[in-house]
Amino acid sequence: MNFCTDISEEEYLREANYQEQLPLSADIIAEQEKVNRSNAIVFIYPVFWTEAPAKLVGWFNRVWTYGFAYGTKKMKMLDQCVFLCTTGRTTAHLHEHGHIECMKQVMIGDRIFGRAQSSEMFVFDGMSKANAQLRESNWNKHLNTVHEIVASFGH
């Protein structure tokens, strides 16, 4: 969709100073309208250093504006928000080092933070091309999980 994820200086100053009266650009308004027309949002991304890619982080930085996602909150309460992310590391490794908990805290605890009635994160581990055998063995398991998640929407 060619959404610009780089926050401009004007946008930064609007947000940093809680200046809701300053105008938003048309692309931000369009994204906010998409959110408010939705009942559920699914974010699908690969994990980089326990974080979403910069493009997705930039989307949150520009779309979750003061007056929309916080402040006077014109954003509607979503029914459901789901995060589907792939990692190269195994779930065991990610739990051992606290990475999954950190990822959930940032995405669900901070970015969603009461903006959806239900929020879940699913981590599809062992998907690195560097370990083709593990990736292949996890492939169908992860696809089945995605099928179950999609089938559960609306229930």
In a domain, 29, yes or no: no
* Residue 24 falls inside a structural domain: no
CA distance 18 to 49: 30
Amino acid 42 reads V
> pTM score, two decimals?
0.89
Which of 33-37, 38-42, 95-99, 148-152 shows the lowest per-residue confidence on average (mean pLDDT)?
148-152
Using the structure block, give the residue that is written with the tokens 């250093």. 49
111 falls within a domain? yes
**Does residue 18 lie within any of the structural domains?**
no
Q: Say if residues 129 and 135 touch (Cβ distance below 8 Å).
A: yes
Assess if residue 60 is contained within a domain. no
What is the share, in percent, of the chain residues with pLDDT greater than 90?
Answer: 75
The total of structural domains in the chain comes to 1
Q: Residue 107 has what DSSP assignment? A: I
Return the CATH number at 46: 3.40.50.360
Q: Please report whether residue 16 resides in a domain.
A: no
Distance CA 37, CA 5 (A): 21
Domain carrying residue 132: 39-55+75-146
Residue 90 placed within a domain: yes
Tokens 């190269």 sit on residue: 88
Q: What is the pLDDT of residues 17-61, one digit of tens each?
A: 999 999 999 999 999 999 999 999 999 999 989 999 999 999 999
Task: Yes or no: say if 88 and 126 are a contact pair by the CB < 8 Å rule.
Answer: yes
Domain membership of residue 116 (yes or no) is yes
